[in-house]
Amino acid sequence: MKRFSEKMNRPIGVIRTYKILSDGRRQIGAFYLPGDVFGLEIGKEHQFSAEAIGNATVLVVRRSAIVSLAERDCHAAQELWTYTGRELHRVQEHMMLLVKNAQQRVVSFLLEMSERLATTDEVELPMSRQDIADYLGLTIETVSRTMTQLVSDRTIGLPSSRRIVVRNRRVLCELNS
């Protein structure tokens, strides 16, 4: 049997998880990038729905298989705990993001994406403005205006709407603080 971590839901491409609120808005819970594990939840029902942004390949594992493995294999159980703990940490960070102001939310998001998928100072965002807005709990207009502001401040560059150039990381980090 393969190692545990090779058996879980791991996207190639990008996955977003989301929930529709009573007023029709969509809240995005997370973006999962290639190699990330997701959907490891405790109850019968998943809290969030998941869908691919563009094409994605996902390794799927039945929850029952995971649980029964954890019953037998102590190491596997610990690994499960670790994955869930990491996810807990991520959600805590996301929660803290949602109480910041609009500029700080956008900056946090750009820094997060830059860390997760930039090789240079340039990032190709895999998601739309609407996805970003729904992740940050803002409207698409506020996200757009905030980015425009960062461009005029020379903090970022925006060669195209999906490409972000980090021009002044220090300022970004300070804004984020």
Q: Which residues form the interface with DNA (CB under 7 A)? A: 101-103, 128-130, 137-145, 147-148, 158, 160-162
CB neighbours of residue 122 within 10 Å: 13
Q: Per CB under 8 A, does 47 bind its own copies?
A: yes
User: Chain centroid to CA 167: how far?
Assistant: 23
Contact present, 149 and 107 (Cβ < 8 Å)? no
Residue 9: phi and psi, rounded to 5, are: -60, 105
Tell me how far, at minimum, the Cβ of 46 lies from DNA, in Å. Answer: 26
- Which of DNA, its own copies, none does residue 103 bind to, with CB < 5 to 8 Å depending on kind? DNA
User: Of residues 9, 84, 103, 168, which one binds its own copies by CB under 8 A?
Assistant: 84
Cα 130 to the center of its chain, rounded Å: 14
For residue 99, the minimal CB distance to DNA (Å) is 9
Cα-to-chain-centroid distance, residue 93? 11
For 124, half-sphere exposure in the C-beta direction (CA atoms, 13 angstrom radius) is 5
Q: Tell me if residue 31 falls in helix, strand or coil.
A: strand
89-148: contacts with its own copies (CB under 8 A) = 89, 91-92, 94-96, 98-100, 137
Q: Which residue from 5, 6, 34, 41 is in contact with its own copies, where contact means CB under 8 A?
A: 41
Site residues for its own copies per CB under 8 A: 19, 21-22, 25, 27, 29, 41-43, 47-48, 70-74, 77-78, 80-82, 84-89, 91-92, 94-96, 98-100, 137, 177
